[in-house]
A and B are shown apart, each in its own frame.
Chain A
Amino acid sequence: MSGLLEVKNLSVSFDTPQGEVEAVRNVSFTLLPGEVLAVVGESGCGKSVLCKSIMKLLPATARIKSGSIRVNGADITGYGGREMQKLRGRLFSMVFQDPMTSLNPTMSVGAQIGEAVRLHQPRIPREIVHDRVRELMELTGIDRPGERMRQYPYHFSGGMRQRSVMAIALAGNPQILFADEPTTALDVTIQEQILTLFREIQKKLGTATVFVSHDLGVVARAADRVAVMYAGKIVEIGTVAEIFRDPKHPYTWGLMQALPAFSKGKEALRTIPGMPPTLLHPPKGDAFACRNAHALAIDYEEEPPMFRVSDTHYAATWLLDERAPKNIPWTDAGEGGQPDLILSNHPLAREHLHTKSGNAGGKNRMSEGAERYGGDTGTGDTERYGGDTGTEDAEPVLLDVQHLTHAFPLTKKVMVKAVDDVSFQIRKGEIFGLVGESGSGKSTVARCIMNIYKPNDGHPPNRNSRSRKRGFEDKDNADDLYGGSRILYKGIDTCNLAIFRKNRRMLQTTRQIVFQDSNSSLNQRMKVCDIITEPLRIQHITPPRGSLRAEAEFQMHYVGLDAEYLDKYPAELSGGQRQRVAIARALTMEPELLVADEPIASLDVSIQAQIVNLFRHLQREHGFSFLFIAHDLAMVEFLCDRVGVMYQGRLVETGKTQEVFANPRHEYTKTLLSAIPEYGFSL
């Protein structure tokens, strides 16, 4: 069978001031008509560069160093801008990662789709274009196309925008569609919908698709074949079944082990140690060797060739060489580990696994949880206000959020409630997870708790002007001012400004926050050492370990960073390292309550696992109470004791993690849970 797209020994480099970055190195693959080929790997391993280099959408600093690209037998490697422009849209098209920026904000969506239609059929009457646009919008599941057509991208939500981008990409009936992480920037539930849509359209139109993703769960459901990329190379390629059931390359193994499902019931999430190498000067030999605990000596010297496993399955690792040791301890998935662990997240398998790991030993979470809650097995009787742990729980309530309401002004007169009557409690030493899609008010809750926002019920100020006039200080009951909102921390109403002032120092030292984007939560102009010790300086606390520097060094150690980073600026660190610095800063004050607002959302999957492990470990060490806000349910399930689900500003469900995950009550929780990637697939 001849391939629709044949890429042979393709190498792509970028010329940067620092030197040549070899983003894609000697990549070969074939795409068959009508199939879906997924390309997986961590960020920075050359996945999207590969796609863009085939479509010649790379910036001028990039060049194809060697290799050939053939489409339908025609060699397009040397095609210039004009020739490529004729092929784009018709032969191949692309869907990009961020739907928020890939549409032109000043053109109506219909106009942008119509433009794409007209590019391929110039000089057709307006009505036909219109009909075609409508047809495309219906195909991609945009409702009320007639109305939606005239709207601008800012009227659209992320999912709708991605649908519009797909409509544009499909306008020219391309034979090949490149999808560059099309679901990564979307909410979990929307991801699910877009993925389903992809599958449907792909089946209906038979478009061959190259699907780039870092998420194995997405890949398992979307693809026919999988290519695993690492450091600019395809290290393993095969059908979904082959890759998932019989991975050969240690990196593929590492990726799968890093899935939270794999670590269910374990002390720590499995991670791949270290970080992907820079491609400025790729390491000699197998680039993955320096992260592989079972690397062979030859891995550091010579590059492994592609070994053939079966007709469809190839992998580039010396382990497949006949001289290689045959009994490598691939993994220590011994205790509680199932051979087909990958499939274990299937609802049926999950239950089975729980029981099994629950009996496995004292170190795992289930049994420890049982210890902590005095053997409370949970009757499933979840009361709304976090009363689910019942009276047996000895630990006192540290944080008590009651009827929290917060509204933002939309215009001068219209207010929108971001948080609506949210109540929950966090006990001492408890990890509480708050999940929900973006815009559901999770962050606002965190900010209200930290006194960054004042709770308000959204009534225009003049309606209760009398209470305003009296001011905050002499308020007896703040209830009517804050719409009944109360946040009790250690029994102190922190919403009340007077009480807040009185306890300011205590509140500021014992509650700390970690933000989502470590890039913006660290001052770019301060050295790591100064960042970590800033709270000590502010509160004029004598550093317990002598000097500020010694203190910073200690904290760095604590979060697993080298002391050599102390004199660096945040920009010189990677995302994961920066987040560790942010955590270290929060920990210098030995907080009793740590609020983490989506701390892992902007990180790579393997790094996410590292950070979650760190959180878990630190929480064990310090015993602080922890409010963990995330949209990644798998991580929440792993980390948290109890969980609250937020939907459109309301807390729709709270309860023990296992209970909520086992039998969700609210419709939304159910949708959310069904959207968790399952690695079960029909073989």
Chain B
Amino acid sequence: MREEHGFGSDMHNNLLYGGRHVCFGALTDGLLRKTAYYGKKLLIFLGSIFLLSIVVFYISRLAPGDPLISYYGERAERMGPEEREWAKDRLGLKDSVSVQYVRWLTNALQGDFGISYKYKTDVMEVIGGRIGNTLLLGGTGFVLIFGLALLLGVLCAWHEGRLADRVICQVGTVTSCIPEFWLSLVLILIFAVNLKWLPSSGAYTAGRAEDPGDRILHLILPMTVVVTGHLWYYAYMIRNRILEELRADYVLLAKAKGMKRRSVMFRHCLRNVLPSYFSIMAISVPHIMGGTYIVETVFSFPGLGTLSYESARYKDYNLLMVLCMLSGAVVILCSLAAQTVNERVDPRMAGAGRTVLK
């Protein structure tokens, strides 16, 4: 329940009777507050990352599976017990998990994240080679998803209840039900196997890594899947948010003062929806990232998705750690950004402290 205390009275009365101020306590200095605000956010970020590293480290080490396979491949299965001990010692896996963690943390703080067992090079190098592909696929996908979702959402809200809206909603519901992997298969079946227009896997044809045209050709199918897999979820969300706004009374006032429908939609409704849209965008990053990972595996697209899938499956500990931390950092950063957007951009939020929530 919300109730205003002390602020409900009209200014006129306050002047007449010398409105008694019932507040006590002083507001802190604005600048100081801002620093404290962002400092707090930073602390939360670092704390979360630290916690995440502990959790992932322990779970991955305690999970069954043989990390030696990823380092020695087939050879690991033929090793004798002594040889295994020696190999484990070499990889630093003999000590207790806590000791291993402390060692990992000290090294990590100095910028050394260890080597990948499978690729036998520095983890950062392995990731550096792949991250571009993922960013290209995920980043472009992200922009496309949210651009198109906004467009579709506004379009549907504009034509609410009419044919265009109903058709788009129906088609959208069906597309949102299609599992990403199946869509990928069907697209490969149609465009790669039967029509032979587009390549079915990889990020580029061997030897043509520098050819942007070839890269784009390879991107088309995965991108289609990433976008269709998520598009409707967000388009529907923004459609409903706008419809909610359209039911507010201020729309009537805006119309009564003679505004065009277009101005009402864009200057008032969309403006009020956008802050929450930004925060949804930020929160959605992990989901789209997860979707990208699946698509990468289906299309054998050399990105972080395939890499984390492999590293989790074959216990490539160091690689897995960095990948988890990277995903986690992005996730936490995004949700912090979403919070900040919510708290800063919307003036209602800034004023929320004035009304008492019981």
Report A-B touching, CB under 8 Å: yes
A residues in contact (CB < 8 Å) with B: 52, 55, 57, 60, 81, 85-90, 93-94, 96, 98, 101-107, 115-116, 119-120, 143, 152, 154-155, 157-160, 165, 168-169, 171-172, 187, 189-190, 193, 408-411, 413-418, 420, 437-441, 443, 458, 460, 647-649, 667-668, 671
Of all A-B residue pairs in the complex, the 8 with the closest CB atoms, nearest first, are: A439-B8, A89-B258, A414-B25, A101-B249, A159-B10, A94-B256, A88-B258, A154-B351
Given A416-B356, A418-B5, A648-B6, A55-B12 contact (CB < 8 Å): no
A152 to B19, CA, bound (A): 21
- Encode contact with A along B243-276: 1 for CB under 8 Å, 0 otherwise: 0000011101111111111000001100110010
- 30 A-B pairs whose Cβ atoms sit less than 8 Å apart in the complex: A86-B258, A93-B256, A93-B257, A101-B248, A102-B249, A105-B347, A106-B275, A106-B347, A107-B268, A116-B257, A120-B258, A152-B351, A154-B354, A157-B9, A158-B10, A159-B11, A159-B12, A160-B10, A160-B11, A165-B253, A168-B257, A190-B10, A415-B25, A438-B8, A439-B3, A443-B3, A460-B25, A648-B9, A649-B22, A671-B13
In whole angstroms, what is the CA distance A89 to B252 when docked?
A: 12
Complex formed: what's the CA distance from A193 to B23 in Å? 27
B39 proximal to A (CB < 8 A): no
Residues of B within 8 A of A189 (CB): 10, 13
Complex contact B257–A648 (CB within 8 A):
no
Which of B5, B161, B257, B354 is packed against the most chain A CB atoms within 10 Å?
A: B257
On whether A408 and B256 interact (CB within 8 A), knowing A106-B271, A193-B12, the answer reads no
Interface pair B351/A155, CB less than 8 Å apart: yes
A190 to B12, CA, bound (A): 9
B257 near A104: Cβ-Cβ < 8 Å: no
B270 shortest CB reach to chain A, Å: 11
The CA-CA distance from A406 to B20 in the complex, in Å, is 16
Taking A103-B250, A119-B258, A165-B253 as contacts, is the C-beta distance between A408 and B8 under 8 angstroms? no
Interfacial residues of chain B within 13-49, with CB under 8 A of chain A in the complex = 13, 16-17, 19-20, 22-25, 27
**Closest CB of chain A to B312's CB: distance in Å?**
43
Q: Does B353 contact A (CB under 8 A)?
A: yes
Q: Are A88 and B255 in contact (CB under 8 A)?
A: yes
CB contacts between A and B, total, < 8 Å: 165
Return chain B residues, CB-CB under 8 Å to A409. Answer: 356
Q: How close is B160's CB to chain A, nearest CB, in angstroms?
A: 9
B10 to chain A, nearest CB (A): 4
Which chain B residues border A438 with CB–CB below 8 Å? 4, 8
Distance to closest chain A CB from B328 (angstroms): 30
Residues of B within 8 A of A410 (CB): 5, 23, 353-354, 356
| Bound complex: CA A143 to CA B14 (Å) | 12
Task: Point out the residues of chain A lying under 8 angstroms from B12, CB to CB.
Answer: 159, 193
Residues in A whose Cβ lies below 8 Å from that of B208? none
Minimum C-beta distance from B173 to chain A (A): 22
Q: Judge if B348 is at the interface, Cβ distance under 8 Å.
A: yes
Asked whether, in the complex, the Cβ of B6 is within 8 Å of the Cβ of A649, the reply is: yes
In the complex, which residues of chain A have a beta carbon less than 8 angstroms from the beta carbon of B9?
157, 437, 439-440, 648
Within 8 A of A (CB), among B215-243: none
Closest Cβ of chain A to B233, distance in Å, is 25
Chain B residues whose CB sits within 8 angstroms of the CB of A408 once the complex forms:
5, 356, 358
Q: A86-B258, A408-B358 given as contacts; is B253 within 8 A of A102 (CB)?
A: yes
Q: Does B7 have its Cβ within 8 Å of any Cβ on chain A?
A: yes
Complex Cα spacing A55 to B254, Å: 13
Q: Determine the distance from Cα of A120 to Cα of B260 in the docked complex, in whole angstroms.
A: 12
Docked CA distance A172–B4 (Å) = 33
- Name which residue of chain B comes closest to A97, CB basis: B249
CB neighbours of A52 from chain B (8 A): 252
Tell me whether B253 and A98 are in contact (CB under 8 A). Answer: no
Provided the pairs A414-B23, A649-B22 are in contact, do residues A104 and B254 lie with their beta carbons within 8 angstroms? yes
Q: Does B346 contact A (CB under 8 A)?
A: yes
- Name, among A55, A60, A411, A420, the residue most crowded by chain B CB atoms within 10 Å (CB to CB): A411
In angstroms, Cα B7 to Cα A154, docked, is 10
A85 touches B259 (CB 8 A): yes
Contacts of A104 in B (CB 8 A): 250, 254, 268, 272
- Kindly list 16 other residue pairs between chains A and B, CB separation below 8 angstroms, not including A90-B258, A411-B25, A648-B19: A89-B256, A93-B257, A105-B347, A154-B351, A155-B351, A157-B10, A160-B10, A169-B256, A172-B257, A410-B353, A414-B23, A416-B5, A437-B8, A439-B5, A439-B8, A458-B24
Shortest Cβ distance from A87 into B: residue: B258
| Contact pattern, B 117-148, Cβ under 8 Å of A = 1, otherwise 0 | 00000000000000000000000000000000
**Residue contact B249 to A89, C-beta cutoff 8 Å:** no
Residues on the A chain within 8 Å of B7, using CB: 157, 439
Alpha-carbon distance A119/B8, docked complex (angstroms):
32
A157 in contact with B259 (CB, 8 Å): no
Query: A98 with B10: in contact, given A119-B258, A171-B257, A172-B258 (CB under 8 Å)?
Result: no
Is B25 touching A413 in the complex (CB atoms < 8 A)? yes
Enumerate chain B residues within 8 angstroms of A172, measured Cβ to Cβ: 257-258
Q: Give the complex CA separation of A159 and B248 in angstroms.
A: 19
The answer to whether B19 and A102 have CB atoms under 8 Å apart is: no
- Of chain B, the residue at the smallest CB distance from A92 is B256
> Nearest CB to that of A94 among chain B residues?
B256
B10 pairs with A420, CB closer than 8 A: no
Which parts of B326-358 form the interface with A (CB within 8 Å)? 346-348, 351, 353-356, 358
Given A60-B161, A414-B24, A154 and B11 touching (CB < 8 A)? no
Given A96-B252, A171-B257, residue A416 in contact with residue B10 (CB < 8 A): no
| Chain B min CB distance to A70 (Å) | 20
B6, B16, B355: residue with the most chain A Cβ atoms closer than 10 Å = B6
CA distance A157 to B5 in the complex (A): 11
Q: Knowing A143-B11, A159-B12, A648-B20 are in contact, say whether A102-B25 is a contact too (CB < 8 A).
A: no
A190 to B13, CA, bound (A): 9
B346 touching A106 by the CB < 8 A rule?
yes
Could you say which residues of chain A place their CB within 8 Å of the CB of B268?
A: 104, 107
B271 contact set on A, CB distance < 8 A: 106-107
* Smallest Cβ-Cβ distance to A419: which chain B residue: B5
Q: Which residue of A lies closest to B20 (CB)?
A: A648
Contact of A88 among B256, B347, B356 (CB under 8 A): B256
CA distance A569 to B187 in the complex (A): 52
Question: Contact: A102 with B252, CB < 8 Å?
Answer: yes
Complex Cα gap A55–B16 (Å): 39
A652 to chain B, nearest CB (A): 10
Q: Give the residues in chain B near A417, CB-CB below 8 Å.
A: 6, 22
Closest to A520 in B: B1
- Distance (whole angstroms) from the CB of A148 to the closest CB of chain B: 9
Does the CB pair B249–A88 fall under 8 Å? no
Nearest opposing residue in chain A for B352, CB measure: A154
A88 touches B10 (CB 8 A): no
Tell me the complex Cα distance, A154–B354, Å.
9
The distance in angstroms between the C-alpha atoms of A427 and B30, with both chains bound, is 52
Partner among B22, B24, B258, B272 whose Cβ is within 8 Å of the Cβ of A85: B258
Chain A residues within 8 Å of B255, by CB: 57, 85, 88
Tell me whether B258 and A101 are in contact (CB under 8 A).
Answer: no
- Which A residues lie within 8 Å of B351 (CB)? 152, 154-155
Cα of A302 to Cα of B303 in the assembled complex, Å? 81
Give CA–CA (A165, B256) in the complex, Å: 11
